[in-house]
Amino acid sequence: MRTLFNESKSKTSHYDEYRVNNSADDVFLSIYPGATGQSAVSDIFLEADPPKKGIAGTIEDHKLGSNKSLNGRELEVYTAITDREGPPDLVSFDFRLKGGPDAYKYKMERTVTSQGDTVVFKITIFFFK
């Protein structure tokens, strides 16, 4: 998916930080891709963990680890969303984290040039105290 992102003509990316604390409370990731009928595949790369590749569709409450264990680590998520035939020609990527001191939400959207096109979204999160 990283190669697809780098080669894609239709891509968008975002970098941000997410505050964690010293607790053993788990942090969870959710991804809500596109409109009904749009297909999505995600790869999750969390520094020092084996990658999770080829996760299809919506991802809800995927456990990343404890607040304490995430401190100083980086998360990269690549999601390829394919537009379906017919309107709308807009694909979107709704990314959420919860379990730290605050919830986090970020949404990206992109209008496709042709119906059936795929857009690759990348979000990078750095966890810190």
Pick the CATH number of 2-128 from 3.40.1440, 2.60.60, 1.20.1530, 3.40.50: 2.60.60
> 36 falls in which pLDDT band (50, 70, 90)?
low
The residues spanned by each domain of the chain are 2-128
Share the mean pLDDT of the chain: 90
Q: What is the pLDDT of residue 9?
A: 58
pLDDT tens-digit map of 61-106: 999 999 999 999 999 999 999 887 776 678 889 999 999 999 999 9
Give the C-alpha separation, 74 to 28, whole Å. 14
Q: What is the pLDDT of residue 8?
A: 60
In terms of Cα–Cα distance, which of 2, 62, 70 is closest to 31? Answer: 62
Q: What is the pLDDT of residue 118?
A: 87
Q: What is the pLDDT of residue 38?
A: 83
Phi, psi for residue 9 in degrees, rounded to 5: -85, -20
Residues 6+ apart with CB under 8 A from 123: 13, 14, 15, 16, 76, 77, 93, 95, 106, 108
Give the C-alpha separation, 109 to 33, whole Å. 10
Would you call 98 helix, strand, or coil by DSSP? strand
